């Protein structure tokens, strides 16, 4: 490939090729008017829930100027005359509120082709945020779609898909939904939050519950509030954590042999150098059980009141 050429954003292979042809022919295909009452909205979601204000604003625009962009639906094989949304959920919701029929492109697509069409339309026109793409990818994977289909639908490579899926599965969806789309928050900050949860066992749902996120003006601000609260929680934990006990060095016999005792929150470790006294180290290895049992019994006797 020459330096002046660019790799296509969406591969021209398999099901994607058919989807690209479908979308390319939109202008030459008649748009049908379909009652919103026969269109189902279920299926994988590529966007976080839009607000009532979003729907009202779009409804006002449609009322003033008409529906400018058609939605896409596909027929339901088991329910003649009924359809399932492929893309355009917000437009469909606005049309429902107005009691207007939907201008729609009707396409007989397989599940895979519908996902590809949904992903391409949203990526090219709606610019979903990182976390919206991550949730969409995780939902597709959970629903059993092959990785190749998910990669094509989101126009990402395998490493990016792995990162998206890790974030979506690490951070509770309830917290993500409270934050919102957060278009200004990129991949690195979401990954950092996910890493903090896994590494430090942070209860993100509890932290989010204690915050008044409704005071934040934007979803980016809500993310900032939660991120700051996590950082404060980790700082407080670090401050409350007791300092580790220093290593105790014990000189044995004439001082040429030494042993170390190290204490942590979970263990007391005895360390004897094999290079200084290999014969004694071997003796300890052979007699450790008997000697430790003797010491334990001596400790028990000391605990028994006279």
Confidence label for 273 from pLDDT (cuts 50, 70 and 90): confident
HSE-CB of 116 using CA atoms within 13 angstroms: 27
Confidence (pLDDT) at 89:
83
Confidence (pLDDT) at 154:
79
Looking at per-residue pLDDT, the higher value among 124 and 199 belongs to 199
**Three-class DSSP category at 88:** coil
The rounded distance, in Å, linking the Cα atoms of 86 and 136 is: 14
**Three-class DSSP category at 257:** strand
- 103-146 per-position pLDDT tens digit: 988 888 888 888 888 777 766 655 678 998 888 888 888 878 88
Q: What percent of the chain has pLDDT over 90?
A: 22
- 134-143 per-position pLDDT tens digit: 888 888 888 7
pLDDT over 60 (residue 73)? yes
The CATH number of 129-232, from 3.10.150, 3.40.1000, 1.10.10, 1.10.540, is 1.10.10
Highest mean pLDDT among 104-118, 165-179, 240-254, 291-305: 165-179
Confidence label for 12 from pLDDT (cuts 50, 70 and 90): very low
Among 151, 156, 212, 146, CA closest to 187: 156
Same fold for the pair 1-126 and 129-232: no
Confidence label for 267 from pLDDT (cuts 50, 70 and 90): confident
Among the residue ranges 118-127, 155-164, 216-225, 246-255, the one predicted with the least confidence is 118-127
What is the H or E stretch that residue 120 is in?
helix 111-121
Cβ–Cβ under 8 Å, residues 137 and 159: no
- Which CATH architecture does the domain made up of 1-126 adopt? Alpha-Beta Complex (3.90)
Among the residue ranges 42-46, 200-204, 213-217, 284-288, the one predicted with the least confidence is 42-46
Sign of dihedral through CA atoms 73, 68, 151, 148? positive
Among the residue ranges 39-48, 139-148, 149-158, the one predicted with the least confidence is 39-48
Looking at per-residue pLDDT, the higher value among 245 and 29 belongs to 245
Confidence (pLDDT) at 26:
44
Among the residue ranges 88-92, 208-212, 288-292, the one predicted with the least confidence is 88-92
pLDDT over 60 (residue 86)? yes
Confidence label for 94 from pLDDT (cuts 50, 70 and 90): very high
**Domains of the chain by residue range:** 1-126, 129-232, 248-300
């Amino acid at each position: 490939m020459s330096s002046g050429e660019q790799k296509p954003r969406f591969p021209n292979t398999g099901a994607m090729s058919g989807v690209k042809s479908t979308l390319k022919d939109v202008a030459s295909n008649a748009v049908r008017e379909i009652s919103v009452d026969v269109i189902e909205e279920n299926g994988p979601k590529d966007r976080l829930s839009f607000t009532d204000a979003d729907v009202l604003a779009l409804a006002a625009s449609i009322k003033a100027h008409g529906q400018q962009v058609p939605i896409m639906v596909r027929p339901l094989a088991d329910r003649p005359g009924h359809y399932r949304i492929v893309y355009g959920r917000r437009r469909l919701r606005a049309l429902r509120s107005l009691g207007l029929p939907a201008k729609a492109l009707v396409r007989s697509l397989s599940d895979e082709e519908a996902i590809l069409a949904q992903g391409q339309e949203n990526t090219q026109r709606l610019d979903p945020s990182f976390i919206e793409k991550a949730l969409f990818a995780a939902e597709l994977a959970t629903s059993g779609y092959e990785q190749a289909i998910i990669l094509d639908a989101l126009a990402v490579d395998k490493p990016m898909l792995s990162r998206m899926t890790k974030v979506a599965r690490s951070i509770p969806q309830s917290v993500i939904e409270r934050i919102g789309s957060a278009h200004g928050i990129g991949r690195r900050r979401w990954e950092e939050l996910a890493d903090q949860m896994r590494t430090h066992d942070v209860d993100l749902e509890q932290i989010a519950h204690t915050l008044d996120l409704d005071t934040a003006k934007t979803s980016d601000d809500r993310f900032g509030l939660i991120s700051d609260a996590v950082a404060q929680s980790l700082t407080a934990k670090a401050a409350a954590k007791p300092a580790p006990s220093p290593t105790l060095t014990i000189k044995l016999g004439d001082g040429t042999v030494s042993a170390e005792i190290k204490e942590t929150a979970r263990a007391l470790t005895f360390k004897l150098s094999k290079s200084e006294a290999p014969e004694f180290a071997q003796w300890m290895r052979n007699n450790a059980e008997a000697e430790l049992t003797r010491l334990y019994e001596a400790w028990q006797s000391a605990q028994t009141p006279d």
